[in-house]
Amino acid sequence: AATEPATVQALRVSQLEADDLDEDMTALLADRILDALSLVQPLVSDWSIELRSAVRFLLCGAMLCGTSGPAATFGAKLYGLELLTARAAGGYATRLKFLTALCLVGYWRDWLRLRQANARGSSSGAASVSLVSALSGALSLLELANLLAFLRHGRPVSLVHRLLGARWGHPPGPPRLYQPAAFAFVDRELVWHSFAELADAAAGAIADARRFISGRRGYDCDGSSGAASGSPGGCRLCGQEACLPTLCSSDCRCGPSCYFCLAASLPYSCPTCPAAARTVADLVLACGPSE
């Protein structure tokens, strides 16, 4: 019987970071390919989950089967890890790479959730919905148990590796000094994504502040003063000409505002007057039916 070669035990944090890096890099590459396929809009909209799964399978297969030597993903290569197994090399190694790439796709859960949501509306799909829910719960418990076992023993990192009898480890040979990999490209992507999210949140906060200030500026509760822009028919929130003029409530005396401005900034009360309103009132037509 073949025995497992002597290998250097891989650090738990290295295996976890390698998996996280694979997720990020695969998502970046898949997004670029899906952006190119977005020109075929009906196909992408109807089969988005299936296309994303196929793209991810091709990327995982290219990572694992691109070389004739030991299999390793992008993140594993940066950490000096390889896909190791206790079985003999040969045909099983190719099947192991293929099955690993197939299992690493992971989007079958999204597909099940989507089909489960579609089946909720039909009476015939009630049994399938309950079955899928039970299987998802059992799988979550198995993943939790596998994570606890990984934290205790250090291998394998996922259920896929446990089922296939594989694990991440350093190649056989004398121990080598660990050289930290440089993630310059991924770091730049993450920084730009974080900056974009921060800028988006700041822009929303600035817009809310501008609407609040413009609504308070020149406000007269009896409606005698004009809007924030100075024009009588202007919106008190954005200062522009009111689009779909709307009142916040039947007793509102601040004048009509844009429907979308008012609906977006009307959680519990009118943003420009003390009128208590949880929903917008009926539209106020700016012109008569004859016009």
Q: How far is CA 256 from the centre of its chain?
A: 38
The percentage of residues in the chain with a pLDDT greater than 70, rounded to a whole number, is: 40
Per-residue model confidence (pLDDT) at position 288? 43
pLDDT bracket for residue 227 (50, 70, 90): very low
Which residue is listed with tokens 């409530």? 249
The percentage of residues in the chain with a pLDDT greater than 90, rounded to a whole number, is: 0
- Region 212-216: mean pLDDT is 60
- Region 241-251: mean pLDDT is 70
pLDDT bracket for residue 6 (50, 70, 90): low
Quote the CA–CA distance of 105 and 57 in Å, as a whole number: 6
Distances (CA, A) of 107 to 35, 71, 184: 18, 22, 28
Q: Which of 54-58, 145-149, 204-208, 249-253 bottoms out in mean pLDDT, i.e. has the lowest?
A: 249-253
- Region 16-20: mean pLDDT is 78
Per-residue model confidence (pLDDT) at position 92? 46
The encoded tokens of residue 27 equal: 């998502």
Give 35-54 pLDDT, tens digit per residue.
777 776 666 666 766 777 77
Check pLDDT > 80 for residue 148.
yes
Spatial CA neighbour of 83 closest among 68, 94, 95, 72: 72
Distances (CA, A) of 148 to 100, 104, 131, 142, 155: 22, 20, 26, 10, 10
Check pLDDT > 60 for residue 265.
yes
Cα torsion 135, 136, 137, 143: sign? positive
Going by DSSP bridges, is the β-strand pair 245-246/166-169 parallel, antiparallel, or unpaired?
unpaired
Per-residue model confidence (pLDDT) at position 28? 78
Give 84-105 pLDDT, tens digit per residue.
765 544 444 566 666 666 665 5
Q: Of 182 and 221, which is predicted with more confidence?
A: 182
Quote the CA–CA distance of 141 and 186 in Å, as a whole number: 32
Check pLDDT > 70 for residue 32.
yes
Burial readout 88-111 (b: 16 or more C-beta within 10 A, e: otherwise):
eeeeebeebbbbbbebbbbbeeee
Q: Is the model's pTM score more than 0.85?
A: no
pLDDT bracket for residue 224 (50, 70, 90): very low
